Amino acid sequence: MRIFLPCLLLCFLCSCATRSHHKFGSKGTRVFDSDGDWTAPEGVTVVEVRGRGGSGGGAGGGCCSFMSGSGGGGACSVSRVVTVTPGTSYHITIGTAGSGGTGDNTGPGTPGEDGGTSSFGSLVSFSGAGGGHPGSENKPPGGKGAGGGGNGGLMGYAGEYSTTAHGGDAGGGGGAGDGNGGDGSGNPDHNGHNGVDGGGGGGGGQQVKSGNGIGPAGNGGNGMPGWIAVRW
């Protein structure tokens, strides 16, 4: 027994050391930025699906003080491991970007649109983030994020990692952090910027001219479309 057990242990260790472990992406990877189809290759039964939904559009600016639009919610990428059937085709849907709201010189601007949902067949989906809300003296919330993304910014402020800061929501960056909000005062760039890297569109600002004259209200920036990557 003193000889047999060490030999048995040595054989077990050798089998562990030489066993191969499959890594997702070692056989193939395909990235979708538009709708399409993916067919599971022969012998592939488990894949990693990573992606995100569309981010929200920023709200348009309004006519008066405290009426700059809030930013849209940002969308974070998420990874899921799913079981597939070899030879079966799966339809991929890419979530659309939320459009920015329109500025209004006589009242509050219009809300930003929500981002669309990305999906891999019926097996997994990635929700889009919410569109920004018009500004008012009641300080409404910004667009809600998705998949760990934070709320959009308020009143022209960027979203922040704090439950007490403007537009903040613990757990992620705010939508307006990537799509800057529109400028006020005399700056002509009062339209919200489009989102980048999954961020929501910035909210539209309100241009205030010299002598308390009111300028045109800015439009909200657009969000970003989603994407999906399949790795096997």
Percentage with pLDDT > 70 across the chain = 62
Q: What is residue 179's predicted lDDT score, i.e. its pLDDT?
A: 44
Confidence of residue 58 (pLDDT cuts 50, 70, 90): confident
Q: In this model, does residue 71 exceed pLDDT 90?
A: no
Q: Give the integer Cα–Cα distance in Å for 209 and 131.
A: 28
- For 53, the domain range is 25-232
- Weakest mean pLDDT among 68-77, 178-187, 205-214: 178-187
CB–CB of 75/224 below 8 Å? yes
Q: Give the integer Cα–Cα distance in Å for 46 and 227.
A: 20
Confidence of residue 19 (pLDDT cuts 50, 70, 90): very low
Structural domain contains residue 107: yes
Q: What is residue 169's predicted lDDT score, i.e. its pLDDT?
A: 40
Question: What average pLDDT does this structure show over 212-232?
Answer: 84
Confidence of residue 69 (pLDDT cuts 50, 70, 90): confident
User: Which structure tokens are listed for 207?
Assistant: 């241009």
Tens digits of residue pLDDT in 158-191: 444 444 434 334 333 333 334 444 444 344 557 7
For the ranges 81-90, 105-114, 133-142, the one whose mean pLDDT is highest: 81-90
CB–CB of 85/123 below 8 Å? no
Q: What is residue 162's predicted lDDT score, i.e. its pLDDT?
A: 41
Q: Whole-number mean pLDDT of the chain?
A: 73
Structural domain contains residue 112: yes
Q: What is residue 151's predicted lDDT score, i.e. its pLDDT?
A: 57
Structural domain contains residue 17: no
Name the domain count of the chain: 1
Q: Give the integer Cα–Cα distance in Å for 127 and 76.
A: 10
Q: Give the integer Cα–Cα distance in Å for 83 and 45.
A: 6
Structural domain contains residue 9: no
Q: Give the integer Cα–Cα distance in Å for 122 and 29.
A: 20
Among 202, 204, 209, residue whose Cα is nearest residue 187? 209
Structural domain contains residue 12: no
CB atoms near residue 191 (< 10 Å): 26
Q: What is residue 211's predicted lDDT score, i.e. its pLDDT?
A: 57
Q: Give the integer Cα–Cα distance in Å for 208 and 190.
A: 10
Whole-model pTM over 0.95: no
3-state secondary structure string, the chain?
Answer: CCCHHHHHHHHHHHHHHHCCCCCCCCCCEEEECCCEEEECCCCCCEEEEEEECCCCCCCCCCCCCCCCCCCCCCECCEEEEEECCCCCEEEEECCCCCCCCCCCCCCCCCCCCCCCCEEECCCEEECCCCCCCCCCCCCCCCCCCECCCCCCCCCCCCCCCCCCCCCCCCCCCCHHHCCCCCCCECCCCCCCCCCCCCCCCCCCCEEECHHHCEEEECCCCCCCCCEEEEEC
